[in-house]
């Protein structure tokens, strides 16, 4: 199978593992906004952000090494066992110790603290196991575990929050159940337990993997700062209810990360496999242009349908969130471009560069946010996010050329970005003519920019259909 064919196949498989969790979050979002108080919603959001900090810090991002190191050793079972065993025997004990400390630090009821710690433990385990199955090329198991996680979460939220009215504790119970299902599936149905062997611990290999993974910790912490600094600054200056408004504002823009996350996971594997090919630079350049056009098309279409999505998904009075949405959608667009560059860094094993670029971007985010919130209010959070991701994208575009001489279609990128900016302006007019214009422009961008992909998929589908008819 060609490189493009493998990329498309992995993208489709991984799409199930990224789409369904996002779909689940949108299904439960009306319940969350309708049956949690604004204070509970703000607290729930902070718990999820805490999870995104704890995982990389406690594990030193060893799960990223699982993915990258296993790609090169998939066919060597003894080495696979050494990698998996070393990671598990390092990550799990240190995670348990950190959660015991967290239990005594949290200022909540004992029951809530137990739920939070149980969720974080299962989530850490599930994330490690998912990277292992990705590294072994078992992307279908990754997607199935994500389906179980999202399905368990939906059922749990409907049961404990909607029917039983258990509020914040109800959603925590649902999260524990969902993460537990996902972990048990990967351990037993994907049969990862067979690679865990106390005697297979390899200290030299563990040190090598930690040497690869620890520079990713500043990267993850910086991404965490970019997400959390907005919420903390908004909460401290404007109050927890305004943080809830900002949570709502982010919900629709993060739909764009659905496409981005799927492509990034498939791209990391593809980029790592072809890194030694003679034409890898040309391949990376072509793929960047295609992903830029694809993400731009998705952004245009999302801006077009956002007014309808907002009415369907958001219950309660969160009208202050609406003006923030186009800014945050544009921010997610640039975040997706930066993530593409991150995939190349991972392929080249230049994890230090990933960390440096993200740290600088996080500092910019915090400075802009703190410096402007007193003057422009909630806009400071969304504008600082946009500015930081724009910087991260351009920083990486030039920094990565130290390793790979990528070529960029500057003129094309310029006019596409200008059209997307026009759509953001039209969005804020909030009138029927503006909505109609945005709809026409958005779907023209989606289909026009991706006609090459559409034709390729149509051609392959027709070839398969003809073969089936002949048989």
Say what the pLDDT of residue 11 is. 64
Say what the pLDDT of residue 402 is. 86
Q: Which of 13-27, 134-148, 161-175, 423-437 shows the lowest mean pLDDT across its residues?
A: 13-27
CA 258 to each of CA 14, 17, 199, 254, 276: distance values in angstroms, whole numbers, following the listed order: 11, 10, 40, 7, 29
Supply 81's token pair. 């066992």
Say what the pLDDT of residue 190 is. 87
Q: Is the pLDDT of residue 55 over 90?
A: no
Torsion sign over Cα 165, 254, 149, 110:
negative
Give the side-chain half-sphere CA count within 13 A for 256.
33
Summarize pLDDT for 211-266 with one digit per residue, the tens. Answer: 888 877 777 777 777 777 788 888 888 887 888 888 888 888 877 776 666 666 66
For residues 310 and 328, the answer to whether their CB atoms sit within 8 Å is no
Say what the pLDDT of residue 107 is. 78
For residues 124 and 58, the answer to whether their CB atoms sit within 8 Å is yes
Q: Which of 13-17, 184-188, 204-208, 239-243 shows the lowest mean pLDDT across its residues?
A: 13-17
Taking residues 122-127, report their average pLDDT.
92
139-157 and 167-184 helices, crossing angle to 10°: 160
Say what the pLDDT of residue 114 is. 92
Rounded to an integer, what distance in angstroms lies between the CA atom of residue 284 and that of residue 252? 30
Chain mean pLDDT for the chain: 84
Q: Place 285 in a pLDDT band, splitting at 50, 70 and 90.
A: confident
Taking residues 370-386, report their average pLDDT.
91
Q: What is the pTM of this model?
A: 0.72
Residues in Cβ contact with 428 at an 8 Å cutoff, skipping those fewer than 6 apart: 323, 326
Say what the pLDDT of residue 330 is. 94
Say what the pLDDT of residue 126 is. 92
Supply 329's token pair. 């959608």
Of the candidates 20, 88, 24, the residue with the CA atom closest to the CA atom of residue 59? 88
Per-residue three-class SS string for 338-356: HHHHHHHHHHHCCHHHHHH
Say what the pLDDT of residue 418 is. 95
Say what the pLDDT of residue 432 is. 85
Largest alpha-carbon pair distance within the chain?
70
Most confident option among 48-52, 354-358, 453-457: 354-358
Supply 232's token pair. 């903390």
For residues 385 and 328, the answer to whether their CB atoms sit within 8 Å is yes
Residue 453: Cβ within 10 Å count: 15
Percent of the chain with pLDDT over 90: 31
Say what the pLDDT of residue 96 is. 93
Rounded to an integer, what distance in angstroms lies between the CA atom of residue 51 and that of residue 172? 12
Taking residues 450-467, report their average pLDDT.
73
Say what the pLDDT of residue 122 is. 93
Phi first, then psi: give them for residue 274, nearest 5 degrees. Answer: -95, 5
Of the candidates 178, 194, 59, the residue with the CA atom closest to the CA atom of residue 133? 194
Summarize pLDDT for 130-158 with one digit per residue, the tens. Answer: 989 988 888 889 888 988 998 899 999 99
Q: Place 353 in a pLDDT band, splitting at 50, 70 and 90.
A: confident
Summarize pLDDT for 304-315 with one digit per residue, the tens. Answer: 998 888 888 777
Residues in Cβ contact with 71 at an 8 Å cutoff, skipping those fewer than 6 apart: 135, 137, 269, 272, 273
Summarize pLDDT for 59-94 with one digit per residue, the tens. Answer: 888 888 888 788 877 778 888 899 999 999 999 999
Rounded to an integer, what distance in angstroms lies between the CA atom of residue 242 and that of residue 318? 9
Say what the pLDDT of residue 372 is. 92
Q: Place 273 in a pLDDT band, splitting at 50, 70 and 90.
A: low
Of the candidates 460, 342, 437, 464, the residue with the CA atom closest to the CA atom of residue 5? 460
Phi first, then psi: give them for residue 407, nearest 5 degrees. Answer: -110, 135
Characterize 336-359 residue by residue with b for buried, 16 or more Cβ atoms within 10 angstroms of its Cβ, and e for exposed: bbbbbbbbbbbbbebbebbbbbbb
CA 373 to each of CA 231, 232, 297, 367, 380: distance values in angstroms, whole numbers, following the listed order: 12, 12, 32, 10, 5
């Amino acid at each position: 199978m060609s490189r493009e064919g493998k990329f498309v196949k992995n993208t489709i498989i991984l799409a199930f593992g990224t789409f369904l969790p996002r779909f689940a979050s949108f299904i439960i979002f009306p319940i969350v906004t309708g049956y949690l108080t604004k204070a509970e919603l703000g607290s729930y959001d902070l718990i999820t952000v805490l999870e995104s900090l704890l995982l990389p810090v406690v594990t030193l991002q060893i799960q990223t090494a699982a993915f990258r190191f296993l790609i090169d050793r998939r066919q060597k079972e003894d080495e696979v066992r050494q990698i998996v065993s070393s990671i598990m025997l390092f990550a799990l004990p240190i995670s348990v110790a950190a959660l015991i400390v967290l239990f005594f630090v949290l200022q909540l009821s004992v029951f809530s603290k137990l739920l939070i710690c149980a969720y974080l433990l299962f989530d850490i385990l599930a994330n490690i196991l998912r990277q292992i199955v990705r590294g072994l090329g078992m992307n279908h198991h990754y997607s199935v575990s994500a389906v179980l996680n999202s399905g368990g979460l939906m059922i749990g939220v409907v049961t404990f929050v909607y029917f039983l009215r258990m509020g914040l504790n109800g959603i925590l119970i649902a999260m524990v159940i969902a993460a537990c299902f996902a972990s048990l599936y990967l351990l037993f149905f994907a049969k990862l337990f067979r690679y865990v062997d106390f005697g297979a611990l390899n200290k030299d290999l563990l040190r090598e993997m930690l040497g690869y993974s620890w520079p990713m910790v500043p990267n993850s912490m910086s991404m965490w700062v970019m997400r959390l600094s907005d919420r903390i600054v908004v909460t401290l200056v404007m109050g927890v209810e305004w943080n809830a408004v900002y949570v709502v504002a982010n919900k629709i823009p993060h739909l764009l990360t659905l496409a981005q996350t799927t492509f990034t996971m498939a791209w990391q594997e593809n980029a790592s496999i072809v890194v030694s090919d003679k034409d890898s630079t040309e391949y990376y350049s072509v793929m960047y242009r295609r992903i830029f056009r694809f993400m731009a098309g998705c952004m245009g279409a999302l801006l077009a349908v956002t007014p309808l999505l907002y009415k369907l998904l958001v219950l309660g009075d969160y009208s202050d969130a609406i003006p923030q949405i186009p800014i945050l959608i544009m921010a997610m667009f640039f975040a997706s471009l930066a993530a593409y560059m991150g995939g190349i860094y991972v392929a080249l094993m230049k994890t230090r560069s990933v960390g440096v670029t993200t740290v600088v971007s996080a500092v910019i985010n915090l400075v802009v946010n703190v410096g402007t919130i007193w003057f422009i209010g909630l806009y400071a959070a969304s504008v600082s996010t946009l500015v930081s991701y724009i910087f991260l994208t351009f920083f990486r575009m030039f920094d990565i050329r130290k390793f790979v001489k990528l070529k960029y279609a500057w003129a094309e990128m310029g006019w596409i970005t200008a059209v997307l900016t026009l759509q953001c302006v039209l969005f804020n007019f909030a009138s029927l003519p503006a909505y109609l214009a945005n709809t026409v422009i958005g779907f023209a961008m989606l289909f026009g920019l991706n006609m090459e992909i559409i034709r390729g998929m149509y051609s392959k589908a027709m070839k398969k259909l003809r073969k089936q008819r002949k048989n």
